[in-house]
Each structure stands twice: as C-alpha cells, then as structure tokens.
Structure 1
Amino acid sequence: MKINNEVVQGNFIKRLNRFEAIVDINGEEILVHVPNTGRCRELFLEGVPVLLERRAGKHRKTAHELIMVYKDHRLVSVDSQLPNKLADEAIRNKMMKEFQDYDYIKREAVFGDSRFDLYLEKKDERAFVEIKGVTLEIDGVATFPDAPTERGTKHIYELINAKEQGYRACVLFVVQLDFAEYFTPNSMMDPKFGEALRSAKTVGVEIYAYSCHVRADEVYLYKPMEVRL
C-alpha cells in the first residue's frame, strides 16, 4: 500500500495520551496524532526518529499522523488500522495462498457477541478472519499483545464457537515490521490470551502470521512467518 501524502521525519519527545504525542520537527515541537492506542512503550522513546504523514484537514486537530518509528535503524509501522487494510487488499488480489478463490469478502462481520474483521464466502465455505496488528518485537521474536487484552481473548473464543458451528475460523497476525524470525503469543503479558490461542488451535482454528515490508513510502504484506504457540 502506497503512502501518497507527504512524509516528514521528526524525533519523538513524549506521548500525551492514547491519541496524541509531541514530536520535534526541525526544532519545533508539534502536536501529532498517534493512530495506535496500544502502549508501544518499547517504540515511543524520547529522541527516537519517527515518520509522520501529513494529513491536514479542517476537521482535524493535528496536521500530522505518526505512522512509523525507527527501531535500531529499522522501520516499524504503528498505524493500527493498516493491518486490516493490508489483509483485505491482499486477499482481494489473491496474494495470500491461505485465502484463495473467495467470491464474497465483507469487512466488519457480526457473529454472536463479536465483530470479526473479515467474512469470506465461496461456493462450499464460509469463513471468519480476525486480524491482529503486531508492533512488539523482542530479540527477533514478534509477539502479541503488548498489554492485557480481554477483547482479544473474547475474539479467540468466539472464533472457537464459529468453528464449532461449521465456519472456517482464522486468526491472522499482521507483524508490522520485517526483521522478526517468528511469531508467538505474549503469554508473559497476557496468559489468558495465550491459553485461548492454544485452545483454538486444538479445535481447528487456523493461526497465521505475516510480516510486512515497511518503507517510508509504502507498506505491504511481505511473507508468511512461523507461528510458535
């Protein structure tokens, strides 16, 4: 996915709340929007270089969106809305071998008490796909979540329910960087999520992870990653 707006570099100063941060751009402290409500504490460090996309508009409080962070001279995408867009684009363009030949693709599909990111349908199959963006990398390992997630755990159990009702059920972890060796759930941070994921695997819920190619002017799904539960 191409980034068509102007991209500028700055240096992170501090996060004000879940949605806003202060960034130094050419010596001027600028208020920017943070499109990720996760903690991202290992990324949002004072002084680190960041990339900002200019998204000016009369209804916006800020003129810049913090879209990428440099971690050890390598880029990490932090836009939490991007994984859904990338997966949707890749599936529609038949770029993922795990999801081929679907005639109907719908975003935001309701099932039970949850809303899954994608609903896919073809002649002999109906499928739900829940997508999780991953920005946390520790010693070459991509992991999720970076904070306890009751909502994420609920989604996994709803996928188990969907599988038991005859749907194909999948979790796709979109790792928003290209320098991790494999993916694993962050059971140290959230044991219940890791337990739910392992339970899902035993009943046939499919678990996939893809890395992303991240550059200043584009981001796209790169290649499948090993998943270790």
Structure 2
Amino acid sequence: MKFTPALQSATLIKRYKRFLADLKTADGAEFTAHCANTGKMTGCAEPGFKAFYSTSDNAKRKYPQSLQLTQNQFDHLICVNTAIANQVVLEALNTGAIAELVDYQTIAAEVKYGQENSRIDFLLTDEHKPHCYVEVKSVTLLSQTEPHSGQGYFPDAKTERGQKHVRELVEMVQQGHRAVLLFAVLHDGINQVSAAEHIDPKYAQLLTEAIKKGVEVIAYKAEISASQIRLAEKVPFIA
C-alpha cells in the first residue's frame, strides 16, 4: 500500500494513554497524534525515536495526525499502526505475493466463524478445494536481549484473544478446512519469528499443539518506507 502523500517525519516525545503520541517537528512545533496500537510496543516507541506520520483532511477528527512508523536506534523502520497489517496482507493476497495462498476464487474479510464468537481476518474460498481460514498477526517485537540477531517474537504481551484464535484455527482443521496463521513482520530488523514463550507460555504451547494438529504457520516480512509498505519476502518461523 502507498502512503499518499508520503509520510512526514518528526521526533517522538512520548507515547501514552495507549492511543496518543506527542511528536515534535524539526522546526520545534509540538503536537499530539493518534496512535492506532493497543499493544505494549516494546522497543518500538522510545522517546527520541524518529517518527513518521500522516495527516487527515477530516475536519471532525480531534487529532488529524496519525503515527504510522517509527525508526529505532538501529535505524530499523517499524510500522506501529496495527491496522496496516491486514491492509498489506489483503494487497498481497490480491497480487499473488503470498505463494502459499494463491489460486483462490474469492477473498472475504472479517467473517464470523468458530465456537468462541470470532472473526477470521480472511476467508479464502474455491469450489474445487477446502476453505482456507487466514488469521493475521502483526510482528514488531525484536529480541531485546539480542537486538542484532534478527529474532522477532509474537505476542509482545499475554494475549487471551490470540489464544482463542489459535483454538479456533484448530477447530477449522478438525472440520476439514485449511487454517493458516500468517505473521506479518512489520519491522526492518526482524528476519525470523518465534512464539514468545517467555512472554505468554500458554500461547506458545497452544501454537505448538496447533501445528501438530495441522494449522499452518507462515511469516512474511514487509518492505517499509515513508512512501509505501508491502509484503516482500518470506522469512522463517522457528517453532
């Protein structure tokens, strides 16, 4: 997806109240931007990081600017707007950029499914093959102990919602469908992904069990700039 116009840059002063971030431009102007990320954003939003933001022309918005990217101390670009993950995955599905998920006739988003009142990110269908349920997770947590290792993790905090999604995917496999957990890596410095057992051991355990039961796990890394972001290459998922 393209950022039109290209994102503008500033310095991150602080992120707070989950949805707000104070930024400062090069000429000294300070303002508050909306931050569409409910996670901890560990290593992604430290004071002094370079920030990239968009500006809405919607006059009704209280905060016209939205924080989209940050750049850490290692010059890694990180997409901190979690809504973008599904947008870039949808674009990749439509262009056939995800080799494992091509040749489906229809793509539907946010479809209700499962026994726990869930919505699947994407349901791929074709009259000649089983339905394919695709759950997307955004990965931005780089190893804090070895930041140059390229090791990324999901989740960055305990996630009962994420645990539920793994259970739902297992159920789809048991019903004869295909179920895929797709990690969208939105961090320049991450080159491989693992479940964050040190953060949410239950999630890691559920995911290990799900893989044994037939849930597929794949990871694709985005190419990120101030003008666009797109899924560009497959990276390893290390169980």
State the TM bucket, normalised to the shorter chain.
Answer: over 0.9
Query: Residue in 1 aligned with 2:123?
Result: 119
Query: Residue in 1 aligned with 2:169?
Result: 159
Query: Residue in 2 aligned with 1:41?
Result: 42
Local SS of the residue matching 1:98: helix
Residues 128-207 of structure 1 mapped to structure 2, 5 A cutoff: 128-138=133-143, 139=147, 140-207=150-217
Query: Residue in 2 aligned with 1:12?
Result: 12
Residues 47-66 of structure 1 mapped to structure 2, 5 A cutoff: 47-66=48-67
Structure 1 alignment gaps of length 5 or more: none
Query: Residue in 1 aligned with 2:105?
Result: 103
Local SS of the residue matching 2:99: coil
Q: CA deviation at 1:178?
A: 3.1
Identity of aligned residues (%): 31
- RMSD after superposition: 1.1
Query: Residue in 1 aligned with 2:229?
Result: 219
Instruction: Count residues with an aligned counterpart.
Output: 229
Question: Which one has the bigger strand percentage?
Answer: 1
Residues of 1 paired with 2:78 and 2:15: CA distance?
Answer: 17
Local SS of the residue matching 1:41: coil
Q: CA deviation at 1:135?
A: 1.0
Residues of 1 paired with 2:156 and 2:186: CA distance?
Answer: 14
Q: TM-score, normalised by structure 1?
A: 0.97
Residues of 2 paired with 1:218 and 1:21: CA distance?
Answer: 22
Query: Residue in 1 aligned with 2:220?
Result: 210
Local SS of the residue matching 1:88: helix
Q: CA deviation at 1:5?
A: 2.5
Q: CA deviation at 1:48?
A: 1.2
Structure 1 residues 6 and 93, CA gap change in structure 2 (3 angstroms): closer
Structure 1 residues 152 and 186, CA gap change in structure 2 (3 angstroms): same
Local SS of the residue matching 1:76: strand
Q: CA deviation at 1:6?
A: 4.5
Residues of 2 paired with 1:115 and 1:59: CA distance?
Answer: 29
What do the CA deviations read for 1:183-229 (whole angstroms, capped 9, x no partner)? Answer: 10111011111111111100110000011100111100011111111
What do the CA deviations read for 1:89-148 (whole angstroms, capped 9, x no partner)? Answer: 111221211011100110001112211100000122211000001111112111111111
Write the letter of the residue equivalent to 1:159: L
Q: Does structure 2 conserve the Cα–Cα contact (< 8 Å) formed by 1:67 and 1:77? A: yes
Local SS of the residue matching 1:42: coil
Q: Does structure 2 conserve the Cα–Cα contact (< 8 Å) formed by 1:56 and 1:62? A: no
Residues of 2 paired with 1:175 and 1:118: CA distance?
Answer: 17
